[in-house]
Each structure stands twice: as C-alpha cells, then as structure tokens.
Structure 1
Amino acid sequence: MNAPVKIETTLKDWETDQEVRWCPGCGDYAILKAVQRTLPQLGADPSNTCFISGIGCSSRFPYYIESYGFHTIHGRAPAVATGVKLANPDLDVWLITGDGDGLSIGGNHMMHVLRRNVNMQIMLFNNEIYGLTKGQYSPTSRPGTTSPSTPGGSIDQPAEPCAFALGAGARFVARGFDVSKKLPEVLKAAHAHKGAAFIEIFQNCIVYNKDVFNEFAAPKGAEDNQLWLENGQPMLFAKGEKGLTLNHDTLRLEVVDVVDGDWEAAKVIRHDVTNRAIAHMLVELPFGPFPKALGVIYDDPAPAFEEQVVEENKRLSEGKEPNLAALLAKGQTWTVEG
C-alpha cells in the first residue's frame, strides 16, 4: 500500500454545488465546516478521498463534500466502507453516521468495523433523537425523553456510543461537539491514527431535541463543564480549579479541588491515551457530578484489517497461477450421473 500524496487545497475546494439542506441552525452545518477546514490542513486529495454514509440527517454529508462518496442504506455504511477499503486500501475513507443509523439497525455492522480495525475515520453524530423521521427517540435518548414513539417518556437505558466502541475493540475513541473550535484537532488526531478511529460528535437538533447538550456544549458559558483531555497532561477543568483523581481504594475517578494551581498536591492524574481501563471510566462518568470528557480518550494502534488482508492474499497467492476452473472444481464436488 502506498502512502497518500499530500496536496494543497482550500476550504472552497471541498465545497460542492449542492444546496446544503439541513434545518436552519442545525449543528450539522458546523460539523461540515469543521471537516472542510480540516481536510486542507491534512493535505488530503479530493480524488483520493471517499465519504460513506447510511441514512439520516447526518448521512446527507457526502453530497456536500467535493470528493467521492456513497449514500448507502440504513445502518450498512460500515459494511460498504469496509468493502471500499478492501478494494482500494489507499483510499482515505470517512464514515458518517448518526446515533440511530449507527447504533440501532447498524449496531451490528458498527461493531464489526471496529473490532476488525478497518483503517477509516468514523464520525457518529449524536443528537439523541431520530431527526429525519420526525423526532422519535433513539438508542441514545435519555430516560424521560418524550417523542411520538415515547409519548409517556422513554424508559430505556440509553446506549453510550464511546463505551460501545471500546467494548467492540476500538483502538481509537474520541469526543467533540458541533460548534467546538477544538473539533478540527480531534479530527486530525483521528486521521493520524492507523486503524478504525471512532469519533462521537454531540450535535444539536434544533427542531426535535433543542439545546439538550447546552450544559457542556453551548457555544458560550459551558467551558467549566468540559474536560478536554490531552495525552500526558493533568485532567483539569473549570479553569484549572478542579481535576480528576483515581481513588485507589475504590478504583473510581473522583473530582478534587485544585488550590493555587498545585494539581500534583491534589493528586490529579495525567491522561494516558493508551490506558483502556481509565478510558472506560471516562466515557461512563455521569455528567453533573463530573465534567464531560472530550478530546482523544483512547489511542492505542494495532495492525489495520485491510493491511493484513492484502498481506495474506499476497502470501497465499505466491507461486500460484490463477485458474478459475480448477478453483471451482476443488473441494467437495461430485457428478450426478444417469
């Protein structure tokens, strides 16, 4: 497989002539611009880039990126993206999905693309609702969510996308939100990771689930509730006045006060992106008592699936001549006579 050739582009080079058709104020607009700003910084080539999506509001994304793209069927984007990557491992593949598309009908396919570790960036837009089909509750909707399909309020325990990804064997897990200025840095880190990179992006559905993330993802005023993780750096938030420590007796994370900036005296722990156990704790922290963990939560690369497939095919075919007739006649075959 060949290393991608970096080229110079601008945001305009990644814009299409298609009218962007999301509801006015939808968080998807901000995510689209973040991606279009990030791609030139990566040196990405539109002719070597492919965006693949399923069904849902988020899945209109390929229409708005000037590159190759597939708008596939509900929940099956991971399967199609895997096929694309196997057919052409040199392609830069981005998978776009939502909490409904990726974690309900597509949960099975999402699990397998993660455990196989296919080299692609997986962006899951989480608005905790089904937007395109008019506001039904989704796998990530909170208890009590009222919708056409839960008029009395949802009683389901919501799925946690990042916990699902870690449980499925993902080697890269990150979080961001639609209007964050730090989202491009998260996307760059995902792109630098070789293997399946899973990014959950909290996205405001202004029509059916408006401002549900405002406590930690509002454009202004929510900074104290955000824990932006950085490898090797202390887990500090609220302007450095609070941090997370690990209680070694209970093996649980706890919030501690940081006095005069002395985070070491407060026993605030440093973030280690290769620590899978702490990553599980971070993604499942209950918001309110704890901040929302954002940024790169886990990053521990392993061999990518398509690279291993290419190497295996090369090994198995070495020294052999292609013969389709012999291949079809090999194994359990028989002739019916009379």
Structure 2
Amino acid sequence: MNEMTKIAVQTTLKDWETDQEVRWCPGCGDYAILKAVQRTLPEIGADPSNTVFVSGIGCSSRFPYYVESYGFHTIHGRAPAFATGIKLANPDLDVWLVTGDGDGMSIGGNHTMHILRRNVNVQILLFNNEIYGLTKGQFSPTSREGTNSPTSPLGSVDRPALPCAFALGSGARFIARAYDVSKNLPGVLKAAHAHKGAAFVEIFQNCIVYNKDRFDDFVAKGVADQNQLWLTDGEPMLFGSEKSGGVKGIALDMETLSLKVVDVLDGDWQAAGVIVHNVKNRALAHMLVEMPFGPFPMALGVIYDDARPSYEEVLLGQDEQARKGKDANLAKLLGKGQTWTVSGTAADPV
C-alpha cells in the first residue's frame, strides 16, 4: 500500500492502551507524554496493526510496552538502526522512535545522526529530562553546567548538547519542541506525523526523582506566559501579555545579524520589527534553537519543516528502476561470468 493512499482507521484512546501496568515513578512526565501520544493516534487515523514503536534503553524506552501496537525494545542507542531496517523492510509501516537524552544523544548519537541525514520516514521523539534517570541520576549530555549528580558532585563542567541544534546540523528536515504536560503537545505530534521524512521532536520531560522541576523556569504557571515562545508558521513571534509585563517579540538585529527581544506597544508588532515565522527558513531555525534561555524565551512548537524525498522512497525507487527489463533468474545469475565444471568422482586417483 502506498503511504499516500493509507485508509484512516477509527480508534479510541482505549484501543491504544495495553494490559501492561505502566511503571514509571509517580509524577514522571512520561505518563503525560504517553497519554498525549495515545490521544493523538486516533486523531490521525493510525492503525494499530500498521504501527510500530521502537525504543532503545532508558526510562522512556519502556514506551512500546504501553502502546497497543507492534513494538521493539532494542539495545542502548541503536533504536534508529532498528527503525531504519523496519522501514526498509516494509515502508508502509508507521514507525515511531522513542529515545531519551542519554540513549539518543550519547551512546546513540551517531545512530541518531544517520537516521536524520538519511531522512528515513519515522517520527523521532526524544524525551529530554537532562539527566540519566534509569541508572540513578548521573549527568547526561544535555545536563546544564553546574548540575550536581553522582558523577559530578562538584557540578558538571560540560557544556550541554542542544538536541534540536544537533538534529539540524545532521540534516533533519523537521524540528519541533514541546514539553510533557503541554496542551500543545498533541498538535506538535500531528505535525511530525504529517511530515514525510524524519521528524525530530524534542520533548522536555520532568524527572520527578533526579531532576525535579528542572524546567519550571519556563513551564511553571507564573512564568510560562513570558518565557515561552510558541511558533506558528506565518504568524509573528510574540510572547508575553499585559498581565506578565507586556507583549514582546523576536526581531532581527541587522547590525549583528542575530535575534533580539523587542517590546510591542499597542499591539503594533510590525512597527517593532517582529519576525514572522517561516518553517522553511533553515537559517532562522538555527537561530531559534540556539537562542540562550534567560535573555530569550524558550522556542516551542514546529521550528523547521521543509520536506524532501525520504530515504526509503529514493532507495526503493532506485532498486525498482534497476530491475526494469531484467529477468529475475537466480540460476542464470549464478551461471554467469567465470564458471567452471569439475569432472570425475571422489574415487578417481589424484
């Protein structure tokens, strides 16, 4: 079946719940992400018999057990390799890859890079809690400088990796960000699924035990309004409100060719020079994912979306073209070229 002609299947959230006991720490952000995914799948008309969830190792990687579909719980960092193989074996399958900041950005960093640069048509959900949760709280590739952990008791001195910047640098054609309890997460997941090619979604996830409330600086109720920039294609980049100290926007500083925060007076965002978001602008996407939080808000939503032919579409098309007009005869192929016949029997003297 061609992916463009798939028939939507009517399901409910219950159809995507398994009989397995969901086992994460009470209060873990993974619960919210699981429900967001299970709510999204019926809305996109997904078919449980045609859907595959693939994971590596880590707290997030329990995910396939809790979704009523096909699933693979694979080895540390290698989920992208398995997902690539699954997609090449059956391109019609709807493949979701679930990984974490340790699984996907450390031991699996090279595999994440290759599935992105190849543009395999899968949805990649990277749960980022900025810590190694399953192995008891060591600092991870995305942990902030100064993070105290069993492996950095004096505070981490590593500069954290930026998953979305990494994805862009690897050639990804779809980049998005959200957080575990956001009401906008299902919308981001739908956009990722609609993209034909590798869709990379970073989801900030609260680790209740080892990195509790790490994202409260932009997620907490009292600060969310002025510290979150939700991006919509074709809409101005505005955040804040009169209640939170005034409406602000993101503009381009022409002298330094960098982004800056500007005040928007009387709703006139054009006079303030606020940028209109364009999901196909790769240079803008790079600036947005690398905006330092603090002087800038956290950029969320679909940051970049510019599709090109997927890996399996091109590869399988190449194979089909190579087979045209040729006789698929294995015996003939084996007898072609440099062959010889051995005469005589085992009883003949040497």
TM-score using structure 2 length? 0.93
The answer as to whether partners of 1:230 and 1:295 remain within 8 angstroms in 2 is: yes
Q: Partner residue of 1:200? A: 202
Q: Answer whether contact 1:179 1:219 (CA < 8 A) is retained.
A: no
Q: Which residue of 2 aligns with 1:173?
A: 175
Equivalent-residue separation in structure 1 for 2:184 and 2:338 (angstroms): 58
The amino acid across from 1:165 in the alignment is A
Paired residues for 1:154-193 under 5 Å? 154-193=156-195
- Residue number among 251, 258, 266 corresponding to 1:245 in the alignment: 251
- Equivalent residue runs for 1:312-327 within 5 Å: 312-324=318-330
TM superposition shift of 1:248:
1.3
TM-score (norm 1): 0.96
Deviation at 1:310, TM superposition (A): 1.4
- Aligned partner letter, 2:58: G
Report what 1:231 is aligned to. 233
Question: Is 2:303 the counterpart of 1:301?
Answer: no
AA partner of residue 68 (structure 1):
Y
Long gaps (5+) in structure 2: 342-349
Residue 77 of structure 1: which of 76, 79, 84 is its match? 79
Q: Is the 8 A contact 1:235 1:269 kept in 2?
A: yes
Rounded to whole Å, the distance in 2 between the matches of 1:47 and 1:232 is 36
Preserved CA contact (<8 Å) 1:180 1:219: no
Do 1:78 and 1:113's aligned partners in 2 also have CA atoms closer than 8 Å? yes
Task: Give, as a single letter, the amino acid of the residue that structure 1 aligns with 2:259.
Answer: L
1:321, distance to aligned residue in structure 2 (A): 2.4
SS in 2 for 1:159: coil
| Residues matched between the structures, number | 337
User: 1:85·1:93 contact (CA, 8 Å) conserved in 2?
Assistant: yes
State the partner residue of 1:119: 121
Q: Which residue pairs with 1:24 in the alignment?
A: 26
* 2:283 counterpart of 1:277: yes
The CA deviation at 1:135 is 0.5
| 1:8 corresponding residue in structure 2 | 10
Shift in CA distance, 249/145, structure 1 to aligned 2, threshold 3 Å:
same
Say what the alpha-carbon RMSD is for the aligned residues: 1.8
Q: Deviations over 1:235-279 (max 9, x none)?
A: 000127000000112100000000011101101010000000010
Contact 1:233/1:270, CA 8 A, preserved across alignment: yes
Query: Where does residue 101 of structure 2 map in the other structure?
Result: 99
Corresponding residue to 1:256 among 252, 262, 278? 262
Structure 2: which amino acid aligns with 1:316?
Answer: A
Report if the CA contact (8 A) 1:114-1:196 is conserved. Answer: yes
Counterpart pick for 1:142 among 141, 144, 169: 144
1: distance between equivalents of 2:336 and 2:188? 50
Counterpart in the other structure of 2:345? none
State the secondary structure of the residue aligned to 1:185: helix
Residue 322 of structure 1, CA deviation: 2.7
CA deviations 1:119-161 (Å, max 9, x no partner) are 0100000000000000011000011111111111111111000
Q: Which has the larger radius of gyration?
A: 2
Q: Counterpart of 1:253 in structure 2: which amino acid?
A: L
Letter of the 1:318 counterpart:
K
Superposed displacement of residue 324, structure 1: 3.9
Q: Deviation of residue 326 (structure 1)?
A: 5.7
Distance in 1 (alpha carbons) for counterparts of 2:285 and 2:222:
27
Q: Hey, what does 2:347 align to over in structure 1?
A: none
* Whole-angstrom CA distance in 2 between matches of 1:219 and 1:315: 56
CA distance in 2, matches of 1:327, 1:98: 46
Q: Structure 1's 143 and 316: CA in aligned 2 closer, same or farther, altered over 3 A?
A: same
* Partner Cα separation in structure 2 for residue 323 and residue 286 of structure 1: 60
| CA distance in structure 1 between the aligned counterparts of 2:78 and 2:280, rounded to whole angstroms | 30
Larger deviation, residues 235-244 vs 67-76: 235-244
> Bigger CA drift: 152-161 or 217-226?
217-226
Q: Which amino acid aligns with 2:175?
A: V
Secondary structure in 2 matching 1:222? helix
Match of 1:40, SS state, is: helix
**Any unmatched runs of 5+ in structure 1?**
none
CA distance in 2, matches of 1:329, 1:96: 46
Aligned residue among 311, 329, 336 for 2:317: 311
Distance 1:226 1:167 in 2: 24
